[in-house]
């Protein structure tokens, strides 16, 4: 049955591409433009630098002071704290990529990485402040409230249980395990070969992400061109697929502030495109994509509730 539906989907996609090439071309151009002008310059320098930090084992000294308090009060390792912070500042799928690399190099334990995965992979503040609130909605005064809703809620739901657990069981076995892991990690010196490998890895990941963005841009454009489909339904489907396309679609289909409130949980969830991107960077690790999906889905509920009350 699964093979039948896969074949049916492939045949439908091929037929659509054959009879509507202009829709495919328009969506592909938009996706590639988004990747080249937004994702590539934003993520490539950061991913190269982060790869260097991880592969050279520089995170431990870099996060030594804040890591000391994170371990004492939250039971987080310095590596876990690094992934948590970066995941809130650099956008999808940076947090997941960092956790996967830390896990592969033995600098973080599976249990800690699994807990952090659902919380430290978020839409970037730069995207929210510029594209979402300034360019699309023209409401920059919403920046503090939006940042509080989209980052404060996930951060609280992630850190408060860790703080309570650490207060009840200060010598939690996970914390000790992470301590042993970081002690065993050997130091690597910065070499040309390491630098070259970090650049190659970052480019390979970004090329794959570009493919996902282009594919979902085509799907969003195809949905927008379905005859007799209401603008509201089309906008909601586009937002569920890929949030960058979904923002202008929701803005045009719903009046403000309803459009703003609708988009808050979609921004938290990230869209199916970000889910696929996350799955691609954690596929060679024991991290669970299904658990990540459920966590993002559940996080969207309190964000929606708070948005309806305070927005």
Q: Is 306 helix (H, G, I), strand (E, B) or coil?
A: helix
Give the closest residue to 307 by CA, choosing from 272, 273, 259. 259
Of all residues in the chain, what percent carry a pLDDT higher than 90? Answer: 53
The Cβ-side half-sphere exposure at 299, using a 13 Å CA radius, reads 28
> Per residue in 144-199, pLDDT tens?
999 999 999 999 999 999 999 888 887 554 444 444 444 444 455 678 888 899 99
Q: Which of 6-15, 153-162, 253-262 has the lowest mean pLDDT?
A: 6-15
The mean pLDDT value of the chain amounts to 87
> Per residue in 198-216, pLDDT tens?
999 999 989 988 899 999 9
CA dihedral for 250, 254, 260, 265, sign (positive or negative): negative
Look up the pTM and report it.
0.86
Q: H or E segment at 177?
A: helix 173-184
pLDDT band at 97 (very low <50, low <70, confident <90, very high): very high
- At residue 292, φ and ψ (nearest 5 deg) are -60, -45
**What pLDDT, on the 0 to 100 scale, is given for residue 176?**
42
pLDDT at 4 over 70: no
**What pLDDT, on the 0 to 100 scale, is given for residue 6?**
62
**What pLDDT, on the 0 to 100 scale, is given for residue 192?**
81
């Amino acid at each position: 049955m699964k093979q039948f539906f896969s074949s049916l989907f492939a045949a439908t996609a091929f037929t659509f591409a054959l009879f509507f090439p202009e829709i495919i071309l328009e969506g592909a151009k938009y996706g590639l433009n988004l990747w080249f002008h937004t994702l590539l310059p934003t993520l490539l320098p950061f991913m190269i630098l982060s790869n260097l930090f991880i592969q050279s084992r520089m995170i431990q000294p870099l996060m030594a002071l804040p890591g000391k308090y994170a371990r004492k009060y939250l039971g987080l390792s310095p590596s876990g704290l690094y992934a948590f912070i970066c995941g809130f500042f650099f956008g999808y799928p940076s947090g997941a990529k960092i956790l996967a690399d830390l896990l592969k190099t033995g600098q973080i334990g599976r249990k800690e990485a699994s807990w952090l995965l659902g919380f430290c992979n978020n839409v970037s503040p730069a995207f929210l402040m510029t594209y979402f609130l300034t360019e699309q909605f023209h409401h920059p005064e919403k920046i503090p409230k939006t940042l509080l809703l989209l980052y404060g809620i996930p951060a609280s739901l992630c850190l408060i249980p860790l703080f309570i657990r650490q207060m009840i069981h200060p010598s939690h076995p996970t914390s000790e395990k992470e301590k042993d892991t970081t002690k065993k990690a050997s130091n690597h010196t910065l070499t040309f070969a390491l630098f070259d490998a970090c650049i190659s890895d970052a480019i390979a990941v970004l090329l794959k992400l570009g493919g996902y963005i282009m594919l979902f841009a085509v799907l969003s454009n195809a949905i927008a061109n379905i005859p007799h489909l209401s603008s509201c339904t089309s906008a909601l489907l586009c937002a569920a697929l890929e949030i960058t396309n979904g923002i202008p679609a929701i803005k045009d289909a719903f009046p403000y502030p309803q459009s703003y409130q609708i988009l808050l949980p979609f921004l938290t969830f990230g869209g199916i495109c970000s889910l696929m991107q996350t799955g691609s960077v954690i596929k060679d690790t024991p991290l669970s994509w299904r658990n990540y999906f459920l966590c993002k889905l559940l996080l969207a509920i309190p964000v929606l509730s708070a948005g309806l009350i305070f927005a």
